[in-house]
Structure 1
């Protein structure tokens, strides 16, 4: 039975492993409890595809230097010219290619979360197909973070690339800086729309293009030059019949796959942040694109969203874990075992960039992982976070967490509470330590920036190492419990139970 459950866990992890499937949430500064701007996303691919954390130093580039989507010079792939100087930046890429950068900040203060896989309609793609050498999900974080300074500039640069060189697939991308956040969606091979996040609202999406409104006269929008005219010319938009232009209706796929795979996640997020909303879960296109939270959103709320698997509330019957693994559950949850990482990019404009921008990064399945803060001013990542392969090992942070999660999934109802309580205590302690560290950093930053930088490195690396050590300790604890369980189930002792 236990072997069967373990197999089921891996089966759930590998389902749809060839496709990227994420969940993204953006929250504006006036909608949060402390004035932070948040971009959160789960990176869901395969449990056997470890995520790393990598530093890319600032560089002076020779004339003609290019970013290349593949390190293989014989393989035709997306290329883009590099400026004379590129910013230093961080990413959370795949272990093998070091592409699919996923999330990070650059030295200019821009944060990017890339990407949310979305799907253009088949009819649109017949007329404006993806470009084989167009920009793909794997390229976006590295290209944008290397050279864009602001959220708006990053979205505009990506838009120019899609218009001129084309997109190799459809995607959604979040951009954030100290002032604002933007969300970008590619609707076909060369058409795109980006919208500024209203400061008092939040935005949630799960593998579906959700932007709708477009006002070319408003500074809150950017788009491809022919976004509306192309749709009208080819019969995807009729002003007389349709009224105002709707990007999602014109360009984005919407069919029965979205009803169970995508809509429930957005419905759940909006129910968590705006409980009074009454919505038909099967009518996802009617969900508000931007909504106001009923209470100011906190970092804890963002973590809870990424960890959600319908464990409470109206959709509790769709929880696929708490009463034993159910890989046949039709409603895809936010937290899935096959997640490579989940992250919350937090920007606090009132603080110096080095500590005001944090990537709260959790490896593997968010529900059974711990969020570790990585400050923008950190000059190096822990070695354990920067190396891993697709085979389990005893050194990498990824496999420390993944082995614990795999073991817990063999008896989730019994074992998950042990891990979740321990990680919750660690996160609470970490936030207290962060407040104390930040106060000390602020005292040093102006008078002795070098000492302040060393303090940041020492503190941040220490917290990360403590998290990895805790994962190892919990793994041993769970192994002990599993050993007791198996012995109790198959003791084979004599009647006196003494041999």
Structure 2
């Protein structure tokens, strides 16, 4: 029986340091579940003594001996590890970030030449076996590349790495091959479940890394589809299915329409750029807005009032009810190493939640984030957000004003808290700094949790009244 992940729908945005509002590198990705499914998520710190030395995958059963002296790192794993860790996104003690993975597509010629490896590694494993052992984004690409060469993979994925200077995106090609590109400093990248990298310069090792035999692999298997001999990775390795035009590419179109409005594009085009320059510098709020996207101000908005029913159903939105979590990994080069890394977390459906900033040089996370269960309970922050979304989705217009006020209020408070914490952290070091940041995270999150509980009460009250009035009128 082949190992295949349930249809996934993550969306990735990567931002180079000269394209962000404060000189940060930014890696962001929603983690979405397959149709009709979801996995509860938690946010934890994995300390060196908690990191396995003998790793066993739950899905493929592969056994990997891991190096000694792992680094501490953050992770957003499944609440219950029946199907494995699925750590997804984190930042390690050396301020290197990793996001794994964006499910991508490939074509039959590639998979015939380099079949997927059923006993290989996959999304379940990647963060755990890579992030604790790397000291730069480039090193992350090379470590993952070596693991792909040795063990192979049973699925098609894109993985992002960043440090304060560089952002890299690596795409798996077949069972063992891979290609990675450095995100241009002045640009952003969009990846909506499609293989994204375009033209490749094999002589430019500052901006491209790849499997040792990738050029030979392309030539021997007649994979190059260009007329001029310039390898376009998306054309060479990617898919070109009708489903891409409705499920994938419109999400890249929506993001680029917002960030680069001067460029007119077809939402179903096969040539939407991998990397694009924004018309202004990109903020954390931009990332949140875009990854909450449902084609606002277009006829394709399922919550909109202008499009036909067919238009509203034409494209798959970014912000859907199957989103489990969003991690925005921000590495701030203008801050000291001890508190330059922030992992912004949001749980549940993106149009209805808010972000919480977490310093990652910490010992622990709040219990209501760390101890998420698979049972619905208002004691877990994950489930509070799920409940809000479940109520709000079918009553969007009646509750969205309150939710947007909550989002603006909490994000403003987030930025104020970061400014204050940065100021108070100056001069601290070692355990004193780590303890301070752990306490600060707790205080910031306690405030957001209280605000979110109040929002749940408000949304529940509004929806209950709407339903009561509907039944009182005898409406169907």
For the criterion TM > 0.5, the same-fold answer is yes
- 2:187 aligned with 1:201, yes or no? yes
Provide the C-alpha distance between the structure 1 equivalents of 2:50 and 2:455, rounded to a whole number of angstroms.
Answer: 45
C-alpha contact 2:105 2:238 (8 A) present in aligned 1: yes
Report the equivalent of 1:341. 325
Higher Rg of the two aligned structures: 1
Q: How do 1:208-287 and structure 2 match up within 5 A?
A: 208-218=194-204, 219-237=206-224, 241-284=227-270, 286-287=271-272
1:333, CA displacement in angstroms?
1.0
Provide the C-alpha distance between the structure 1 equivalents of 2:228 and 2:203, rounded to a whole number of angstroms.
Answer: 20
- 2:417 aligned with 1:433, yes or no? yes
Q: How do 1:289-368 and structure 2 match up within 5 A?
A: 289-312=274-297, 316-323=298-305, 329-368=313-352
1:469, CA displacement in angstroms?
2.0
Report the equivalent of 2:41. 51
- 2:472 aligned with 1:484, yes or no? no
- 2:149 aligned with 1:163, yes or no? yes
| Cα distance change, pair 86–453 in 1 and its aligned pair in 2 (3 A) | closer
1:354-374 alpha-carbon deviations (Å, 9 max, x no partner): 321111100011111110011
1:290-332 alpha-carbon deviations (Å, 9 max, x no partner): 11111111111111111111112xxx11111345997971211
- Return the match for 1:445 from 428, 436, 454: 428
Provide the C-alpha distance between the structure 2 equivalents of 1:483 and 1:208, rounded to a whole number of angstroms.
Answer: 41
C-alpha contact 2:299 2:308 (8 A) present in aligned 1: no
1:110, CA displacement in angstroms?
1.0
Provide the C-alpha distance between the structure 2 equivalents of 1:145 and 1:303, rounded to a whole number of angstroms.
Answer: 24
1:133-158 alpha-carbon deviations (Å, 9 max, x no partner): 11101111111112111100000111
Provide the C-alpha distance between the structure 2 equivalents of 1:48 and 1:210, rounded to a whole number of angstroms.
Answer: 26
1:33, CA displacement in angstroms?
1.8
- 2:160 aligned with 1:177, yes or no? no
Provide the C-alpha distance between the structure 1 equivalents of 2:248 and 2:471, rounded to a whole number of angstroms.
Answer: 43
Report the equivalent of 2:404. 420
| Cα distance change, pair 137–293 in 1 and its aligned pair in 2 (3 A) | same
- 2:453 aligned with 1:468, yes or no? no
Structure 1: gaps of 5 or more residues = 1-15, 494-499
Question: For the aligned residues, what is the CA RMSD?
Answer: 2.3
Query: Any idea what SS the aligned residue of 2:472 has?
Result: coil
1:282, CA displacement in angstroms?
2.3
1:34, CA displacement in angstroms?
1.1
TM-score for the superposition, normalised by structure 2: 0.92
Q: For structure 1, which segment, 52-61 or 431-440, has the greater mean C-alpha deviation from structure 2 after superposition?
A: 52-61
The alignment covers a number of residue pairs equal to: 464
1:382-440 alpha-carbon deviations (Å, 9 max, x no partner): 11112233331131111111111111113111112211211221111221121012111
Deviating beyond 6 angstroms after TM superposition, the runs of 4 or more aligned structure 1 residues are 324-328
Report the equivalent of 1:33. 21
Query: Any idea what SS the aligned residue of 2:194 has?
Result: coil
